[in-house]
Structure 1
């Protein structure tokens, strides 16, 4: 199952820089792990914002929820999830 996920991050202004840096390092490691596993298929930064648009390839909505809530930055995110399916006019038969 493919899902488009928009994540907007809003760290508290009062958060110490060292704490923010530590969370960001954990986030990067976790996202790399998910990308290497194929679960986090694509990630794009939204220019000029602390936000991204990603595509996840998971077995269920529950799996997506578990992966997203496992993000170290999850408590500081606004997340929008959109289910995706293959368009009949797509020339890419490998995207399901």
Structure 2
């Protein structure tokens, strides 16, 4: 199953720069682990926002939730998930 996942981060304004730097470093490590696994296919920054658009290919909605909820920034995100499939008019089988 292929999903487009939009994640927008909203950190508490009261956090120190050190706390923010720590959680961002942990987020990087976790997201790169999932990218290396092959499950997280694409990761793009949304210009001008603390936000990204990602493409994940997983076995089930439960696996998608496991990956997203493992992210250290998960509690501070607004997340939109869209399940996608090949369009019948597409020239290529897949972009993945």
Same fold (TM over 0.5): yes
Hey, what's the Cα distance between the residues in 1 that align with 2:95 and 2:54? Answer: 15
**Aligned residues: CA RMSD:** 1.2
Partners of 2:9 and 2:92 in 1: how far apart? 32
TM-score (norm 2): 0.95
Aligned counterparts, 1:61-80, within 5 A? 61-80=61-80
Partner-residue secondary structure (3-state), 1:41: strand
User: Runs of 4 or more off by more than 3 Å in structure 1?
Assistant: none
Unmatched runs of 5 consecutive residues or more in structure 2: none
- Equivalent in the alignment of 1:39: 39
Unaligned runs of 5+ in 1: none
1 CA distance for matches of 2:76 and 2:36?
A: 24
Q: How does 1:1-96 map to 2 (within 5 A)?
A: 1-95=1-95
- Distance in 2 (CA, whole Å) between partners of 1:56 and 1:80 is 13
For residues 12 and 18 of structure 2, what CA distance do their matches in structure 1 show? 13
